[in-house]
């Protein structure tokens, strides 16, 4: 329904008609997921572990970073292994699939958070409110594409990669071709789109943004 409405608005605004032939996805979609496999002997101090995922324009995971730890390295490692087996469909607009960012988290088993009873009975009890992480793990900023100019004509198919320099406010400071699509016109369109694109940083709470170099991928279909 949303895609139909968006296509109607695009047509009404006089945008290229070919856009209506392509599906619209504003965010990456999980196609396959996995659960952590950890031994019963884990001793977490936090109820969950969280990750940020940098995704290519084909939905593959290019990089994963933990932003909140469970407090147990074994569970964290199992969670990282699980999240790296996820598969995604990338966001797309105007027949262009784009690189993106996704957030995933895993809750630790409740029994792993149990503590010995205060009366010494040996019967474990669950805390009323599982403990939370006090400090987020700050990583290199993860980047989200928030605005992209769609060309008036459909470009030759291919994937172009552009290294985009961003300042601390996520404004574009530079754009350089990192990998060619194999078509000079598609490459030129990708570079132009990257220079005019809008970006935002995705960071854990309490973390400060800083300048970054982002590998933008655009797959033209």
C-alpha to C-alpha distance for 55 and 43, rounded to whole angstroms: 31
Number of domains in the chain: 1
Residue carrying structure tokens 């593959």:
60
Please tell me the predicted confidence (pLDDT) of residue 130.
52
Residue carrying structure tokens 């996995």:
34
The helix/strand/coil state of 164 is: strand
- The per-residue DSSP string of the chain comes to -HHHHHHHHHHHTT--GGGGGS--BSS-EEEE-------TT---SSSEEEEEEEE-TTS-EEEEEEEE--S-HHHHHHHHHHHTT-EEEPPEETTEEE-EEEEEEEEPPGGGG-B--TTS----B--SS----SS----SPEEEEEE-PPPSSPPPSEEEEEEEEE-TT--EEEEEEEE--S-HHHHHHHHHHHHH-EEEEE--TTPPP--EEEEEEEEE-
Please tell me the predicted confidence (pLDDT) of residue 177.
98
The answer to whether the beta carbons of residues 41 and 112 sit under 8 Å apart is: no
Instruction: Give the chain's residues under pLDDT 50.
Output: 1-13, 133
If phi > 0 it is left, if psi is from -120 to 50 it is alpha, else beta; for residue 181 that is alpha
Write the DSSP symbol of residue 118.
Answer: T
Please tell me the predicted confidence (pLDDT) of residue 154.
87
> For residue 132, what is the domain's CATH number?
3.30.2420.10
Residue 21 belongs to what domain range?
2-6+15-220
Query: What does pTM read for this prediction?
Result: 0.82
Give the model confidence (pLDDT) of 132-148 as tens digits. 545 578 988 999 999 99
Please tell me the predicted confidence (pLDDT) of residue 4.
36
C-alpha to C-alpha distance for 131 and 157, rounded to whole angstroms: 50
Please tell me the predicted confidence (pLDDT) of residue 176.
98
């Amino acid at each position: 329904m949303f895609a139909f409405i968006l296509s109607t608005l695009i047509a009404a605004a006089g945008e290229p008609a070919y856009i209506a032939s392509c599906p619209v996805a504003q965010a990456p979609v999980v196609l396959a997921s996995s659960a952590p496999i950890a031994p019963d002997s884990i001793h977490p101090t936090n109820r969950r572990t969280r990750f940020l995922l940098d995704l290519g324009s084909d939905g593959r995971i290019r990089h994963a970073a933990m932003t909140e730890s469970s407090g147990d390295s074994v569970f964290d490692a199992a969670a990282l292994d699980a999240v790296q087996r996820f598969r995604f469909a990338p966001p797309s607009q105007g027949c262009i699939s784009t690189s993106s960012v996704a957030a995933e988290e895993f809750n630790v088993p409740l029994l792993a958070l149990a503590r010995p009873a205060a009366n010494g009975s040996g019967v474990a009890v669950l805390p009323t409110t599982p403990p939370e992480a006090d400090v987020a793990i700050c990583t290199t900023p993860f980047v989200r594409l928030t605005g992209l100019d769609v060309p008036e004509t459909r470009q030759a198919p291919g994937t172009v990669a552009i290294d985009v320099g961003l300042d601390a406010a996520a404004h574009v400071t530079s754009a350089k071709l990192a990998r060619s699509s194999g078509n000079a016109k598609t490459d030129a369109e990708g570079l132009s789109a990257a220079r005019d694109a809008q970006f935002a940083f995705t960071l854990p709470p309490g973390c400060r943004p800083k300048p970054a170099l982002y590998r933008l991928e655009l797959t033209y279909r």
